[in-house]
Amino acid sequence: AGLHRQVLFTTVGWFVGYYLAKRTEYVHAKLDRELFEYIRQHPEDFKAAEKKRIGELLEDFYPIR
């Protein structure tokens, strides 16, 4: 295969990967923006949960003998 083909395919692959990465970032940023706007407009649906102590989250420890 020649060196020129390897350079060509590497260059094309890099540009395609770069475009796909930028497109993915754009799509995720757009989705985040829409979700945060919805949360800002509907605060009653997203109330802050009460804080729990770590002891309330973990189960009681009973050693096995």
Distances from the Cα of 4 to the Cαs of 10, 13, 15, 52, 61, in angstroms? Answer: 10, 14, 17, 63, 66
Task: Give the per-residue pLDDT at 1.
Answer: 63
| Mean per-residue pLDDT, 17-42 | 97
The pLDDT mean for the chain works out to 93
| Mean pLDDT computed over 16-28 | 98
